[in-house]
Structure 1
């Protein structure tokens, strides 16, 4: 730990490198400065000046209806690992907001402009700091040492209205993000509850008839860049599913312990990991680090879980080389091809 700012609220003997809990708002009224939090019904809060030099601050990520939301600290933005991911998020009053350090960009902290919360400085991956707003309004916050570089964020609580650089609107109670509701992609299958906590799941996307299907890794969802998109796909036997890294909020991987495949855990965009699925079956996979947060996915192959499902590695780019062997699930066999592009030998069946 590299230091702290004296006198900031929400600190004390409970601080560790892994977990920091700020005040949950019980004493919020005593901490606020005039004019810092705008209530619903007032004119929209204009965030143009606040976000003028902040990369990616173009809209509010609407996480209302979620009990807990995570914002990454130290994502790639503003000339380095000097961003919050996402920079602006809308939550319900009473939602716990947790900031989680990526470990990139040096020492960061999280400090509200109105003084209602503040963390200590830290540079360790996995450190967290939590705060629970209790009233509707708009709270600006920043990383103190990197504020001038654009490392700024905003909590939009309840139905408070905001505007962004360029005149974009952050929406209100009727139009949370200024955009239509995302369309449903297909039938809403349960998969035994596997996707119950996945906020971006909008049904099974039917990609049958396509020889190759791409799934984004680190797409927006589940409180930040913590989603596979689409979360569920239906493909034909023989289809190549290629996962492409697009998020910067942390190190992601693609893992299905039941079928025995896994990518390496990699941070950064542009990486890929690909498998060819044969037979009929179901793969339920997740990101090791963020799976419990909802970063999960499904590949439904052919007629679904009624027969044997096999997979074959077909190539991976720039740092996602290697598949991890694991015990074979009942009724499932697989074979393996060198992911760097060779015809590796089949693994023996169990």
Structure 2
């Protein structure tokens, strides 16, 4: 081979080496194992959704704020007129402290009033001594609601103002039984035992009255 032809061939080979080496950057140790998961990757296997306030909902439906503290979600009690029956359903409900209870007017016209002597129509107090009492207006529109947040542990008895004398009463247990409501029944009817409510989570009106 002529010297000039030989040098040209060697020069072309050397020039091609960087390109070949660059193609080896995907060699073992630099491939898919080194990829960093993106925000869309489900690294823990648990899906979360973030609301505008920075809270997340885990798979169990509990709400978790930015500090990692789980807070109770709202719990609903229906207020019902059914023929000559007037009742709260569930009649007994267990919630954790910090829960916002929501009363929903399903039919008829009803209110929810805590048994606290500071409230009209309440001859006795049947909520924890340091708890905040509540008293709603009469709700007459379908699906109208009233909310109250329950911070203090204990048993809370309440009634419907228009139908108190007809036995429309209910009970909430917040965290664990306690307070004056654990001492006998309210003056306007009967309610499930506080511990039964804790054990079952909720006692429907039908199960209790039936």
Give the number of the structure whose residues are more often helix, by fraction.
2
- Shorter-chain TM-score bucket reads 0.3 to 0.5
Q: Greater RCO between the two (CA within 8 Å, min separation 6)?
A: 2
TM-score (norm 2): 0.46
